[in-house]
Amino acid sequence: VTIILCFIWFGLNETAALIAVIVNKTPNIAVTMREGARAVDKRLLDVAKAYQVPAGRTFIKVYLPQLYPYFLAAARGGLALVWKIVLVVELLGCSDGVGFQLSLFFQYFDITSVLAYTLAFACIIFALEAGVLRPWERRGLKWR
């Protein structure tokens, strides 16, 4: 629905697609990060306060390490949602891209090409997961 409204308001262009992605993903990120902020260990905050650690250092050394798993969860969910939105945007209003090609091949009943594009797209998503998100996760969570 958001995609269609953005197309109506902003026209069939990249700006509408970008705004649709932002509008769809921002609430999910906000809720996930809010839950992470609620889960911060109060004992660590008390220790930082007792040792009079400056607020900036407390944020970097206490909050960020504990928010990192929630950030990764938001990034994983975002990756899945954003690519779906991008495909729908290309399917509905673009004259190029993977979504457009899938629509074109589907109209021609070229199932082999539809499956090939789908498989290639899934491989790219899995490569992003393995090449970007997993290394971030290993590096960010090695303190645990």
Which of helix, strand or coil describes residue 109?
coil
Which token pair is 92?
A: 């509905």
Tell me: pLDDT of 50 over 90: yes
> Mind listing the pLDDT tens digit for each residue in 88-136?
877 777 777 778 888 888 889 999 998 998 899 889 888 988 898 888 8
pLDDT at position 59 is 93
Per-residue model confidence (pLDDT) at position 143: 67
Both tokens of residue 6?
């953005």
Token pair 């649709």 is found at 20
> Residue 49: pLDDT above 90?
yes
Among 115, 125, 38, smallest CA distance to 77 is for: 125
The pLDDT assigned to 144 comes to: 65
Residue 20 reports pLDDT greater than 80: yes
